[in-house]
Amino acid sequence: MPSIRRFAFCLRVVVAAILIASLAGRGPQEAMAADGRAPNLLFIFADDLTCQALSTYGEARHLLETPNIDRLAREGMRFDRCLVTNSICGPSRATILTGKYSHKNGFYNNANCRFDATQQTFPKLLQGAGWQTALIGKWHLGSNPTGFDHWRILPGQGIYYNPPMITAGGTSVERGYVTDLITDRSIEWLRQRDRDRPFLLMTQHKAPHREWSPAIRHLGWDGDRPHPEPATLFDDFSGRSQAVRDHDMGLDRTFTPLDAKFVTPPGIDGEDLVAWNAHYEPRNEAFRAAAPAGRDLVRWRYQRYMHDYLACVKAIDESVGRLLDELDREGIADETVVVLSSDQGFFLGEHGWFDKRWIFEESVRTPLIVRFPGVTRPGSHCDRIVSLIDFAPTFLAIAGLPVPPDMQGQALQPLLAEHAAADWRKSLYYHYYEFPEPHHVRPHRGVITDRHKLVHYEGDLDEWELLDRKVDPTETRSFHDDPAYADTLRDLRAELDRLQAQVDDLGPVPAEAYGNTPLE
For every residue of 290-342, DSSP letters joined together read H---HHHHHHHHHHHHHHHHHHHHHHHHHHHHHHHHHHHHHT-GGGEEEEEEE
Nearest CA among 356, 359, 367 for reference residue 391? 367
Lowest mean pLDDT among 24-38, 104-118, 369-383: 24-38
* Percent of the chain's residues with pLDDT above 70: 92
d(CA 129, CA 41): 14
* H or E, element range at 395: helix 391-398
In contact, 355 and 61? CB cutoff 8 Å? no
Q: What percent of the chain has pLDDT over 90?
A: 89
Q: Which amino acid, 220?
A: G
Q: Domain boundaries in the chain?
A: 2-212+317-419, 216-226+239-304, 430-514
Mean per-residue pLDDT, 146-154: 98
Amino acid 20: pLDDT: 37
CA angle 40, 44, 49 (to 5 degrees): 160
pTM: 0.93
8 Å CB contact between 367 and 54: yes
Q: What single-letter DSSP state applies at residue 13? A: H
Least confident piece of the model among 61-65, 340-344, 498-502: 61-65
pLDDT at 72: 98
Dist CA 27 CA 65 (whole Å): 38
Distance of CA 217 to the CA centre of its chain: 25
- Please tell me the CATH superfamily of domain 2-212+317-419, with its number: Alkaline Phosphatase, subunit A (3.40.720.10)
CA dihedral sign, ordered 143, 208, 186, 401? positive
Per-residue confidence at 62, pLDDT binned at 50, 70, 90? Answer: confident
Distance CA 469, CA 455 (A): 14
The topology under which CATH files domain 430-514 is Arylsulfatase, C-terminal domain (3.30.1120)
Give pLDDT, residue 459: 85
371-419 confidence digits (pLDDT tens): 999 999 999 999 999 999 999 999 999 999 999 999 999 999 999 999 8
Residues 85 and 431 sit within 8 Å (Cβ to Cβ): yes
Whether the pLDDT of residue 13 is over 70: the answer is no
Q: What is the pLDDT of residues 285-295, one digit of tens each?
A: 999 999 999 99
3-class state of residue 104 by DSSP = helix
pLDDT in tens, 322-342: 999 999 999 999 999 999 999
Q: Is residue 156 left, alpha or beta, with left meaning phi > 0 and alpha meaning psi from -120 to 50?
A: left
Burial of 335 (0-12, 13-18, 19+ CB in 10 A): buried
Query: In the prediction, which pLDDT does 58 show?
Result: 87
| pLDDT score, position 517 | 57
Q: Is residue 130 within 8 Å of residue 197, measured between CB atoms? A: yes
Q: Please name the helix (run of DSSP H) or strand (run of DSSP E) that holds residue 391, with its range, or none.
A: helix 391-398
Q: Is residue 5 very low, low, confident or very high in pLDDT (cuts 50, 70, 90)?
A: very low
| Mean pLDDT value across the chain | 92
- Tally Cβ neighbours within 10 Å of residue 171: 10
- Residue 176: the pLDDT is 98
Q: What is the pLDDT of residue 16?
A: 38
Residue 228 has a pLDDT of 95
Domains 2-212+317-419 and 430-514 share a fold: no
List alpha helices for 145-293, DSSP H.
178-192, 242-245, 257-260, 270-290
pLDDT tens-digit readout, 417-468: 998 788 899 999 999 999 999 999 999 999 999 999 999 999 888 999 999 9
